[in-house]
Chain A
Amino acid sequence: MLKIFDIKAKSFPVTRKIILWASGIILFLAIFFTYVTNVTIDAASDELLATLKVLFWIFICLAPFAVAAIVIFIILREKELADYYKVRNKSTLGKKVRLFDVLNMLWMAIFCVMCVYPIIYVLIGSFNQGADYARGGVYLIPRLFTFENYRVVLEKSEMWHSYLVTIGRTALGTVSALVFTSIVAYAISRPNLKFKGVIYWINLLTMFFSGGLIPYFLVITAIGLYDNFFVYIIPALYSVYNMIVISSFFKSVSNELHEAALVDGASEFRIWWQIYMPLSKPVLATVALWLAIGHWNSYFDTMIYTSSKDLHTLQYFLLQAIQSSTMTEGMTETMLQRVSAKTISLAAIIISIIPVLFFFPFVRKNFQSGIMIGSLKG
């Protein structure tokens, strides 16, 4: 037997994961290319058709291997499970599957379908020809398949630049805001903070009152952030809402831990960084997700606080592209029929949300390590 199929090897879980994913992707692509080579593609050039054919054959040839790999792993898994059940059935902690579990699973599955469908709807539309899409009724498969929508968006060199800007602001913005907000959250969560009441209210009131855009804009320009990359980072450093959320979690960390650290001579700053932060991973991950998605999706600050094209973010670029249909600029009649602002925007959505899906594994990981919270209480 090959080494990668050795259940007892240390690297086995990782190898299995990689191989399973690869097999899954190969199978998906095989199906996709089988589909694509069998539909009429609008505006397909000979090169495109040839490339598709080659890809189709490559993946069709790979498919049997992928299936084989999956089958082998399923068999191995069965074996593993069998061993596992032998042990587990003896344990009193073993769970039984009840009716509730079945129903729960069933309804979750239904709900998942309802949540996946809108994405599929967008995906289908993004592969449909523009003029045809306008007739409506495209729900399950593209009626007139085309790659034109993607080609039009991806051809723009500005898009890749704006992608970089967005990734940069999301990474930097999330980390800095998380640190800044949690510092404040920690201080405010401490009962021994002086002037706690007044500080808290100064914070709270800003959630409700704002002076409006123009005075805010003037502040931004006065401190030199206008048309500066840091206009994406600094004003987003802190949010009272997130602070309240984080600090309410900090409050649930057991007080004994804090006192023990104090007695050991740790400063409040060290306690925050070395005890509270690691213990609050679930909530920090959640807030990080909020922040990251906020950064990823924002376009308004780009419109108002910047003027140079170098600072355009992905969402701004896509929005402007869709709205002003700069994409369709210089296009002739025939081209306009192939793509419409609507179908281009659907392609743009797909392009912009693919990276977002990679945020989740990171967040989930931190949920799992959050078991420590309150562990000292119990």
Chain B
Amino acid sequence: MKKSVYAKLMSLFLVASLGFSVAACDNIPKINNGDDAFDVSYNDEKLDPAGAADAGNSWTYISAADKAENYTINWYVDVSTWPMPTGKDAVSKRIKEVTGLTVKFETPVSDDGTKLNTMIAGNKLPDVISMPTSNLLTLSLLAKDGLVYDINGLADRYAHSLYEHLPEDVLEWWAYGNGKTYGVPNHYYSYSDVPEGEQLQPNGGMMVRKDLFDSWQEHVSTDSRIDGDGMLHYTSLSGAAKTVEWQGYITTPEGFKEAAKWALANYKGTGNGNGKITTGLLLSQFKADGCTSLGWLSQFFAIPYEDESGNYQYAFTQESYKEMLMYLNDLYNEGIISKGNFTQNFDGIGGTIASGAAFATLVTPQDYQMHFLTAHDTVVNGKSLEYVSMYITNENGDAPVLSDIRGYGYLMNMITTGGPLSKTRPDLIIKLFDYLTSPEGQLLVTLGVEGETWNYTDSTKTATAFTETYLEEKAKLQTAKYGLMQFDVLINYQYYDNMQPRVNNGKTEGELYRTNLKRPLTIYSYDCNVSHFVIDATDSRYNDYDNALTRINNVLGRQVPKIIQAASRSEAESVYNTTIGYLNSYNLDIVLQMNAESYAKTKAKLGLTNGWPAYQEGYNMTPDRLHPNGDLSLYRSY
């Protein structure tokens, strides 16, 4: 009796409380999977004055009445580490003058997407969402759910000039199957912006302690294996007899191994900046889903992502990639890669660099700029612990094929259909986008207000210089009020690079060192846009693809350290084979299949017959062995 009363009470309570909550949330959007997915409705009353759309810049049509409204845009950037502009600087003021809009930024404090999810489900959408382009799934779902406007639709209606300002290839790159694009990226490298014939910097790089490098070169120059012509004779790892200019011996896998061993034998010790080293080759942090250094090394070793017949090729299963792992295993067993490397976190890796405790590094240099700079600024016995870029090649001596920094964007900016302002006035926001994308807006965001911080130095308006006032203030560390480079959500970096002041730029020696970190390697960097192919997240197989890829990356993240740390080559090989087995069981097939399809599609989009630079014109198979540490004369003075 008693029990049943309790049960009744309990169920009554449950029903009541659940009923309450369902009542609390009406208007739940249904899931669109059919043809009406991706659809949004437009508020067509706000169209520009007749005929105005084609003439001139769209933002000049923002009416005085709209400007007087003092609209605020809620702009959410889904990256916890993104530095928000304060809104109290000259750039924000100028944006307000031109468009009448004030931008209020918001960022989360954790990167697991919870903030965005609650905003969507709770119907508290911001007006603009900016999120990393790497998050393909979310990008496509936002579009599919009808949560964001398509840029084409908005531009057609309210901002024709956007098509002039935003390069066509950028818009096309991100278009979905329906031909529409749902956002405007930043940090894109359009073919129309990259100056003809200019090579861009590579994305990753290898760095070496310059003082140790010089000592090694001095040491090797007297090596007995050098013949009269300055050629050094050595046996390659696979046992073949080879020769190389002695200056470039360090760029061969064998030579690098010897140099690192030599450095460790002569300079080993624990150093907090005393010039001693603890490791021969520093790899970046081994995270759960992998280590970026392997990617960089595979570029130095010119491991192709395309086979000779132009089909996509997966890295890990290739014989040359396996050989690369075996090389790393060899370096580990020789003590060149330290055991500590596998357990260090970002701070640990950074500390090793900052104290100059690695002979060479394979980390992503831009991630550790501060640390490289600290090493650069440390002087021991009159010598700086500066790192400079260097390269190594594969056993055959093929020149490295480094992927350059190009790409189609880091952040994607999308205008939502449900934000407080964007719900009714997307026209204002797309006009703001247009303004910021235009040359005028780009120069404002990167260089500041014309006449205040910079001026054109020629009549054709192609060269700029900072004003004396700005440079004086900069020297006094008083630049926050100008707001340069803060509003970078829509920045076109390549355009800035073309336009930035080349003289009178006020850069300190440290800043120049930083911007030049990997520049000497530019000679080996190529356009590898095709390898950054975008998987169609609207594909029905995407779910499986995404699951399989995450699994595979995590398996590799766990197994690769085991391969490198195996006690012997044969053991390393057996771990490698087990790993291949794991990959297959985690559905590697679907990953390969969809990658191959996307690769082919992307190739077609870019109009390429061959995607791998080594198969293209202009690739020079033989590296310049006489300048093994990169050519420092390539350093830019701006």
Do A and B belong to a common assembly? yes
Question: CA separation between A214 and B28, bound complex, in Å?
Answer: 13
Question: CA separation between A192 and B483, bound complex, in Å?
Answer: 68
With known contacts A324-B82, A337-B374, A137–B272 Cβ distance under 8 A: yes
Size bracket of the A interface: 35 or more
Nearest to B375 among chain A residues (CB) is A135
B373: chain A residues within 8 A (beta carbon): 131, 337
- The binding surface of chain A is classed by DSSP as helix
A-contact bits for B445-482, CB 8 A (1 contact / 0 none): 00000000000000000000000000000100101110
A-contact bits for B67-103, CB 8 A (1 contact / 0 none): 0000000100000111111100100000000000000
Taking a contact as CB atoms under 8 Å apart, the answer to whether A333 and B109 are in contact is no
Nearest to A137 among chain B residues (CB) is B272
Nearest to A315 among chain B residues (CB) is B109
Taking a contact as CB atoms under 8 Å apart, the answer to whether A218 and B24 are in contact is yes
Nearest-CB distance from A240 to chain B (Å)? 15
Determine if B265 is an interface residue (Cβ-Cβ < 8 Å).
no
Question: CA separation between A331 and B107, bound complex, in Å?
Answer: 20
Other A-B pairs, 13, CB within 8 Å; known A135-B374, A330-B86 = A134-B371, A136-B355, A137-B272, A195-B6, A198-B9, A218-B21, A222-B21, A307-B124, A323-B81, A326-B83, A326-B84, A328-B83, A334-B508
Taking a contact as CB atoms under 8 Å apart, the answer to whether A221 and B122 are in contact is yes
With known contacts A131-B374, A135-B273, A135-B351, A221–B124 Cβ distance under 8 A: yes
Taking a contact as CB atoms under 8 Å apart, the answer to whether B24 and A333 are in contact is no
Taking a contact as CB atoms under 8 Å apart, the answer to whether A333 and B511 are in contact is yes
Taking a contact as CB atoms under 8 Å apart, the answer to whether A329 and B86 are in contact is yes
A-contact bits for B321-356, CB 8 A (1 contact / 0 none): 000000000000000000000000001101100110
Taking a contact as CB atoms under 8 Å apart, the answer to whether A134 and B480 are in contact is no
Determine if A141 is an interface residue (Cβ-Cβ < 8 Å).
no
The count of chain B contact residues (Cβ–Cβ below 8 Å) is 54
Most buried by B among A201, A303, A320, A335: A303
- In the assembled complex, 13 residue pairs joining A and B whose CB atoms fall closer than 8 Å, in A order, are A130-B370, A131-B370, A136-B354, A202-B13, A213-B117, A221-B122, A303-B114, A304-B118, A329-B84, A331-B477, A332-B479, A333-B508, A337-B370
Determine if B47 is an interface residue (Cβ-Cβ < 8 Å).
no
The count of A-to-B residue pairs whose CB atoms sit within 8 angstroms is 133
Determine if B31 is an interface residue (Cβ-Cβ < 8 Å).
no
A195: chain B residues within 8 A (beta carbon): 6, 9
Nearest-CB distance from B86 to chain A (Å)? 7
Nearest-CB distance from B470 to chain A (Å)? 12
Nearest to A304 among chain B residues (CB) is B118
Taking a contact as CB atoms under 8 Å apart, the answer to whether B80 and A324 are in contact is yes
Determine if B64 is an interface residue (Cβ-Cβ < 8 Å).
no
Taking a contact as CB atoms under 8 Å apart, the answer to whether A320 and B107 are in contact is yes
With known contacts A217-B122, A332-B474, A340-B370, A135–B377 Cβ distance under 8 A: no
With known contacts A303-B110, A332-B477, A218–B122 Cβ distance under 8 A: yes
Determine if A105 is an interface residue (Cβ-Cβ < 8 Å).
no
Determine if B597 is an interface residue (Cβ-Cβ < 8 Å).
no
Taking a contact as CB atoms under 8 Å apart, the answer to whether B122 and A303 are in contact is no
Question: CA separation between A220 and B479, bound complex, in Å?
Answer: 42
B374: chain A residues within 8 A (beta carbon): 131-132, 134-135, 337
Taking a contact as CB atoms under 8 Å apart, the answer to whether A324 and B81 are in contact is yes
In the complex, chain B residues 365-412 whose Cβ is within 8 Å of any chain A Cβ: 370-371, 373-374, 377-378
Nearest-CB distance from B197 to chain A (Å)? 31
Question: CA separation between A230 and B525, bound complex, in Å?
Answer: 56
